[in-house]
Structure 1
Amino acid sequence: MRTINVLLSALHLIIALFTGALGAFFVMLYFSPKLIYFFIDTITEEPQIFLKIGFYISLVTISLFICFYYMHKSQYLKLSMKKNKTSINTKLIQKLLEKYFQKIYPKNKNKLKVSVDENEKLEIIATVDTLENQDSFLLNIEEKIGQLLIDHLDYQKDFIFTLKLRK
């Protein structure tokens, strides 16, 4: 899992806990008259505290919208093809590689994730159940996937391939 996804998940967990605590607070207000009077006294004596609370909640809301945007933004890879620049959605590459792995391991449940790093280098993460001919597979995988990308997409740059064994 990428670092940004971990951070966003933690942020969303904190927001969910905050919302739950806020709901519990208002339920407690209903059952405790002393807490209601304390809350009313705080409102009348220090109304500027609500301005601070409003700003903090607005700031968190804006950051959540920004995080959602970056989480769901598609990644594109630019390929040079005969003086023209083009973009390919990483989902297209993922589907191509899923078909290839399904052909190699039809009985296994394979999981693939394709992304593009900051340097526009293609990153492929494959999770497979087993590897029967581990040494020969690892020696040939770079050549096979590289040839597949060249044949279908004319992609001739370096790429990162990570292989995980499911246990």
Structure 2
Amino acid sequence: MRAIPLTVTALAAALLLTACNDGGGGKNGKSSSACQIGGVSVQIGSASVAPAAGDTGEIPVSITNQSAPCTLDHFAAVFLSTGSGEQAVPVLKGAKAQQLKLAKGDSAAFSISYVRGKDGDKNALAAKTVKIGLPGSDTSRSFPWSYGPVAGKADGSGPDASVSAFQQVGD
């Protein structure tokens, strides 16, 4: 007799999941409900700046939805630019993305961690701006980088920096 209630429960759960699917019908296969950089306010908060070469700093970035409900479903795209080129900041090793739904007025945050490089070091990235893009969106926004040079990874694969997962802010 237990097989019938479990089957009904499983069927109901499957129908609910199907009803929640937006079909991903946005441009280029992107979800039409993805948060867009133009529909949110982006603010770089008070940073814990790395004071000297070899020290680690952390820059919090908060996003507040200013428009229709939207979803953050992966990691922010972050690039450090020198003016003559840019380098992607990788995701923090071991970080797991979570899907966050933001109603109008809701906020989420992530952090950019970095190791300060030595001024003039050929492996250091003399960043002038940080460019931030949201998952599922083709647009980005640039902000001044005033936290000093970013050390390069020992293997030469890019900046010694990382991006954390989005976290819900507030209730």
TM-score range, shorter chain: under 0.3
TM value normalised by structure 2: 0.24
TM value normalised by structure 1: 0.24
Greater fraction of residues in helix: 1
Bigger radius of gyration, 1 or 2? 1
Q: Which has the higher contact order (CA 8 A, sep 6+)?
A: 2
Greater fraction of residues in strand: 2
